[in-house]
Amino acid sequence: MSTVPTQGAPRPDAPEQVHDQPVVLELEDLAMHYGPVRAVDGVSLQIRRGQVTALVGESGSGKSTVGRCIVRLVEPTAGAVRLAGADVTHLSRGQMRQHRRDVSIVFQDPAGSLDPRMLVGDVIAEPLRLQGSRLSRQERSQRVSDGLRRVGLRPEVAKRYPHELSGGQRQRVSIARALMSEPTLLVADEPTSALDVSVQASVLNLLADLQRDIGFACLFITHDLSAVEYLADDIAVMYLGQLVEQGTREEIFAHPRHPYTQALLAAAPVADPAKQRARTPVLLGDDLPSAMDPPSGCRFHTRCPVAVPRCAEEVPTLRKVGGATVACHLVEDDGTGPDIRSAAGTVEAAGTAAPAATAPETATTTGRPA
């Protein structure tokens, strides 16, 4: 079993050239409404080949709905989903079939996503069968064995049922199934949240190794900032169906500008107990507003400790600020703005963190395993 990664150097295998790679996924003003519920409301995002983008936010912010729209488990209400330039937003099930091999998803709960009546080998081979693979039975069996080895499981596991495996083993099976079609994009929907902490580390190591070796693009949906710091290249912060900040991992952790992003970082525990006790707590008050009746203006203004009247009246737009994009009226073009992690939410200079507002020291590293 892999140990929990520790704080270390930046990843050597995440070159800046990833931003020069072709776009694998593009979302344009994506919206998903369930009747009056505005689960996703105008999300735009790009992911390039070999890039890991983390989509973070509280439960109920719409993260998983974005993932389901991408793989077309649900049809978006508005906007566009493009895979390698092809618009798949409103394709029929038959038309979508040819694009299924290019995008796969790993669900949060492996026990619920694996058919309990099927052997593990049949579960992993199912993408090959559904996509009309002409492999012989022996060739298909070999592909399954190779897939199991790739995720750290013995080929004998193919003869077992999902209920005979541990939670970590079931999630490895889910990953093997998702990669069987050799996708260019993997949507990982909180793949470690249902697992024990020690098992989470091994699954994160596995995902990092596979992404580095195969080079697929990945949308990593999570609320675990430790995992984000360890795995992601870019971070997109989502609140109540909308993106509020987006940038590189280094930029978001070092210089978070949106008050909600600052609150998320402040909520992440610090590994050192003494430092944890010395931190100033950030209290947002009130629960997440209802997506059936989102607040006017900036949707975060009802919980933001530094909100001004303009925040309730005018919807902020995502704009370029330094090395990130942010939707906040209080952030100036030079990057200055309030930092709610400081005692009084004082204004800090661009690119400067407040004394009590350093990014949290987490139990993971920014460097991937060798």
Residue 26 pLDDT > 50: yes
Residue 218 sits in the same domain as residue 339: no
Whether 225 contacts 264, CB under 8 Å: yes
In terms of Cβ atoms closer than 10 Å to its own Cβ (0-12, 13-18, 19+), residue 118 is middle
Task: Give pLDDT, residue 104.
Answer: 94
The residue ranking higher by pLDDT, 2 or 61, is: 61
Residue 178 sits in the same domain as residue 295: no
Task: Give pLDDT, residue 358.
Answer: 37
Residue 364 pLDDT > 70: no
Residue 86 sits in the same domain as residue 173: yes
Number of domains comprising the chain: 2
Residue 82 sits in the same domain as residue 218: yes
Instruction: Give a yes or no: residue 354 inside a domain.
Output: no
Task: Give pLDDT, residue 6.
Answer: 39
Task: Give pLDDT, residue 132.
Answer: 73
Amino acid at 294: P
Whether 53 contacts 31, CB under 8 Å: no
Q: What are the tens digits of pLDDT across the range 221-239?
A: 998 888 898 899 999 999 9
Task: Give pLDDT, residue 149.
Answer: 96
Tokens 């900036």, residue located:
298
Q: How confident is the model over 243-269, as a mean pLDDT? A: 93
* Sequence-ordered alpha helix ranges (H) in 181-241: 197-214, 225-231
Q: How confident is the model over 193-218, as a mean pLDDT? A: 91
Residue 141 sits in the same domain as residue 283: no
Residue 156 sits in the same domain as residue 264: no
Helix axes 167-179, 120-130, angle to 10 degrees: 20
List the domain range (segments joined by +) for residue 286.
256-348
Element (H, E) at 221: strand 217-222
- Residue 106: half-sphere exposure toward Cβ, Cα within 13 Å: 30
pTM for the full predicted model: 0.86
Write down which residue in 239, 270, 292 finishes a domain. Answer: 239
Q: What are the tens digits of pLDDT across the range 279-319?
A: 877 888 777 899 999 999 999 999 999 999 999 999 999 99
* Lowest-confidence pick of 13-22, 183-192, 196-205: 13-22
Q: What distance in Å separates the CA atoms of residue 2 and residue 243, rounded to the nearest whole number?
A: 34
Q: What distance in Å separates the CA atoms of residue 274 and residue 370, rounded to the nearest whole number?
A: 31
Q: What distance in Å separates the CA atoms of residue 43 and residue 292, rounded to the nearest whole number?
A: 17
- Which percentage of the chain shows pLDDT scores above 70? 88
Residue 169 sits in the same domain as residue 47: yes
Q: How confident is the model over 26-38, as a mean pLDDT? A: 96
Residue 11 pLDDT > 60: no
Q: What are the tens digits of pLDDT across the range 86-125?
A: 999 988 888 888 788 899 999 999 889 999 999 999 999 9
Residue 209 sits in the same domain as residue 144: yes
Instruction: Give a yes or no: residue 56 inside a domain.
Output: yes
pLDDT band at 128 (very low <50, low <70, confident <90, very high): confident
Task: Give pLDDT, residue 362.
Answer: 36
Provide Rg for the chain, Cα atoms. Answer: 21
The residue ranking higher by pLDDT, 370 or 286, is: 286
Task: Give pLDDT, residue 133.
Answer: 76
Residue 235 sits in the same domain as residue 269: no
Task: Give pLDDT, residue 210.
Answer: 94
Residue 175 pLDDT > 80: yes
Mean pLDDT, rounded, of the chain? 86
Q: How confident is the model over 61-84, as a mean pLDDT? A: 95
Q: How many helices (H) and strands (E) does the chain have?
A: 12, 14
Residue 211 pLDDT > 70: yes
Q: What are the tens digits of pLDDT across the range 311-348?
A: 999 999 999 998 899 999 999 998 889 999 885 455 44
Residue 34 sits in the same domain as residue 152: yes
Residue 146 sits in the same domain as residue 290: no
Task: Give pLDDT, residue 17.
Answer: 66
CATH of the domain at 54: 3.40.50.300
Q: How confident is the model over 149-168, as a mean pLDDT? A: 95
